[in-house]
Amino acid sequence: MAFFGLVMEYDKSKIFHFSRAHNSSNPKLDLSAIGTSILKSKTYWQYLGFYFDRRLSFKEHVRFYSTKALTTVKAMGMLGNSTRGLLPLQKRLLYQSCVVPIATYGFRLWYFSGAPTKAQVSLLATMQRKAALWILGAFRTSPTGEIEALAGLIPIHLHLKKLVKRSCLRAATLPSQHALLSLLSAHPHPQSLALLTDVQSAQLRSPLLDTEASLLNLTERFDSLHPETCPGCRLLDNFPDHVSFHPCDHSNGRTRKLQFDTLDCLCHEASSDPSTLVVATDASVIPPRNM
């Protein structure tokens, strides 16, 4: 079976029954015509790292990855304690780089407008609380909001909203032949959202609706294959003599002060010219502490 160029591998598929009925907790299939055995379907189905339950609530999916992320946080406890080991800044960086991607894996399956997400977000919030306690070395009775603020962690529900907004806007950078864009209303396709009836549109709950709403409100247009993004056509390639760099040396205080004065003069001179663009970056590195 092929759908939008995707091929289902039957050797990886399993028998599964999807139902949103409340009384379908343990359905049974009688195979008495074949034998005396009874086939009991599983409570969830795993495919390509995603866990599907019969009602498509994805509670098992969130439980699995939140538990995996929590186990990772607990395993990081051996890297140091409050008096020796990693600094809180390093712990925070390690959590955001290694744990958050695990916890939010496949979150677009269940986090979208109109979907019940209270139970799933609660599991992720519990995991992040454990991480904040580990980062700060605080007591277990500390309030969740305060330790997240002190650890520099955004609340998990706000972090999910940020990731959703980014993923929706990222669809604007996809090529016009992409399979995802063919499902939106702007593209004539048999499975497009524009061909749904009013009843179907009212009952539909999908991440595609969030993506389409974000693209409709988007004022800028992106071209992923624009000629200016190709090597040899970039700004530095075409105008190398119009761009100058002024690095700053932090080796000693006197040199640092002189270079800052020089940069102030350059910024003042460039600001007086309306055709000049000033770009400043901070690539400073925290000096290593003495062990």
Q: Is the pLDDT of residue 63 over 70?
A: yes
Of 149, 183, 216, the residue at which a domain comes to its end is: 216
Is there a single domain that holds both residue 10 and residue 69? no
- Within a domain: 266: no
Mean pLDDT, the chain, rounded, equals 76
Do 167 and 157 fall within a single domain?
Answer: yes
Q: Sign of dihedral through CA atoms 196, 198, 204, 205? A: positive
How, if at all, do strands 38-40 and 28-30 pair? antiparallel
Q: Is the pLDDT of residue 31 over 50?
A: no
Q: Report yes or no on 94 lying in a domain.
A: yes
Separation between Cα atoms, residue 114 and residue 55, nearest integer Å: 15
- Which residue range forms the structural domain that includes residue 28? 1-51
Is 92 domain-assigned? yes
pLDDT in tens, 106-156: 898 888 888 888 888 999 999 999 999 988 888 888 898 889 999 989 999
The pLDDT tens digits for 158-205 are 999 999 888 888 888 777 778 787 788 766 677 777 777 778 777 788
Measured CA to CA, the distance from residue 209 to residue 215 in angstroms comes to 10
Q: Look up the pTM and report it.
A: 0.63
Q: Are residues 80 and 161 in the same domain?
A: yes
Structure confidence at residue 213 as a pLDDT band (50, 70, 90): confident
93 burial level (CB within 10 Å; 0-12, 13-18, 19+): middle
64/167 same-domain check: yes
Distance between start and end Cα atoms, the chain: 61
